[in-house]
Amino acid sequence: MDLFTIVTARADYEQGALVIIDQTQLPGREVYLALKTSEEIWEAIYLLKVRGAPAIGVAAAYGVAVCMQKVAATGFDDFYREFSRVKDYLASSRPTAVNLFTALERLNRALLKHQGVGVEILKQVLREEAEAIRKEDAEACRKIGEHGLSLLKPGMGLLTHCNAGHLAVSEYGTALAPIYLGQEQGFGFSVFVDETRPLLQGARLTAFELQKAGVNVTLICDNMASSVMKQGWVQAVLVGCDRVAANGDTANKIGTSGVAVLAKYYGIPFYVLGPTSTIDMDCPTGKEIKIEERDPAEVTEKWYDRRMAPEGIHVYNPAFDVTPAELITAIITEKGIAYFPFNDTFREWKKNK
């Protein structure tokens, strides 16, 4: 199966389902799930069956649209009450990626603009808005790839953490977009992929994606990044983002800030790539970003066939960390490239939206 034929999330209105590829089964099995209730959709997001900031936003938007097609409401107020319930419920599935909230808020705004119309039209408004969100994310990927590639040279060694590729968005992804474009243009990159403990998005998903695309890829454990950098094998780090604060502080998968510290030490450019929808101007700095804490079992036993730590051990399992803006060489979006300090460029980008 060609990588780009894998569909991360789509709405099947005939079946009344949100259809996703179950990312927890990759790379071993390519299994699609048809999720028909808001509870199934909430659980799929929480359990990372669909994950990656833009993909969560798209899945939630399609999810709301799918659930609302089945609602037998008599008028706007009735419809809007049920919409708000489903929207707030799905918004509670994961707290860090801002795309989840912006996607749901977009549906909310679209509905509020159509208060005088019938319920069938309201259903159509939701379908169209959800599709627009997916389309805009996909279009952003290619532009992010072009801007990112302009900073890279043929033959470079690159390092990435977690998965910000096709599976996390659609099309080329964000952090992986310059790699896919470079691959098409014969850049011959060598890419080191951090396995990304504890849920192994790097090993299971990024390594799978890049290998399928024919990229020269080497998997490393997270604690090997310093070693490969020291040997001069890495000329740039590319990572995605879950929420970028107005000052450029960036929340991404746990371990990202450690990679940024290493990159600074070794003098390697550290690039964050994502759509402008991931920039949250309501969050002044990284301190205000809520970091998700997850089940200790992900650290002690998940993905292994036996327990990896003593029973009763205390575990700290944050899913994300915040990389301070001053460690980030550039933030690359569909609108262009921003350099530290980021505030003015972000304000400009958001103004022209």
Residues of this chain that bind ligand MRU (CB under 6 A): 48, 51-54, 97, 162, 164, 168-169, 173-174, 201, 240-242, 252-253, 319
Under a CB-based contact definition with an 8 Å cutoff, are residues 163 and 26 in contact?
no
Nearer CB in complex with ligand MRU: 24/235: 24
Query: How far, rounded to the nearest angstrom, does the alpha carbon of residue 201 sit from its chain's CA centroid?
Result: 11
Under a CB-based contact definition with an 8 Å cutoff, are residues 144 and 333 in contact?
yes
Nearer CB in complex with ligand MRU: 252/329: 252
> Cα separation of 38 and 86, whole Å?
7
Q: State the nearest-atom distance from the C-beta of 157 to ligand MRU, in Å.
A: 20
User: Annotation-wise, does 49 bind a ligand?
Assistant: no
Nearer CB in complex with ligand MRU: 79/178: 178
Nearer CB in complex with ligand MRU: 122/222: 222
Nearer CB in complex with ligand MRU: 43/128: 43
The phi, psi pair for 193, rounded to 5°, reads: -115, 120
User: Annotation-wise, does 258 bind a ligand?
Assistant: no
Which member of 242, 249, 280, 321 is catalytic?
Answer: 242
SS3 93: coil
User: Annotation-wise, does 309 bind a ligand?
Assistant: no
Report the residue closest to ligand MRU, judged by CB: 240
Q: State the nearest-atom distance from the C-beta of 94 to ligand MRU, in Å.
A: 7
> Cα separation of 76 and 145, whole Å?
41
Q: State the nearest-atom distance from the C-beta of 252 to ligand MRU, in Å.
A: 5
156-194: string of b/e by CB count within 10 Å (b at 16+)?
A: bbbbbbbbbbbbbbbbbbbbbbbbbbbbeeebebbbbbb
Q: State the nearest-atom distance from the C-beta of 323 to ligand MRU, in Å.
A: 11
**Joined tokens for residue 289:** 């970003």
- In angstroms, the first-to-last Cα distance of the chain is 37
> Cα separation of 219 and 221, whole Å?
7
- CA diameter of the chain: 67
Active-site residue, 295 included: no
User: Annotation-wise, does 115 bind a ligand?
Assistant: no
User: Annotation-wise, does 252 bind a ligand?
Assistant: yes
Q: State the nearest-atom distance from the C-beta of 40 to ligand MRU, in Å.
A: 18
Under a CB-based contact definition with an 8 Å cutoff, are residues 252 and 331 in contact?
no
Read off the DSSP letter of residue 293. B
User: Annotation-wise, does 253 bind a ligand?
Assistant: yes
User: Annotation-wise, does 55 bind a ligand?
Assistant: no
The phi, psi pair for 117, rounded to 5°, reads: -100, 170
Q: What residues form the annotated binding site for substrate?
A: 51-53, 94, 201, 252-253
Active site (catalytic) residues: 242
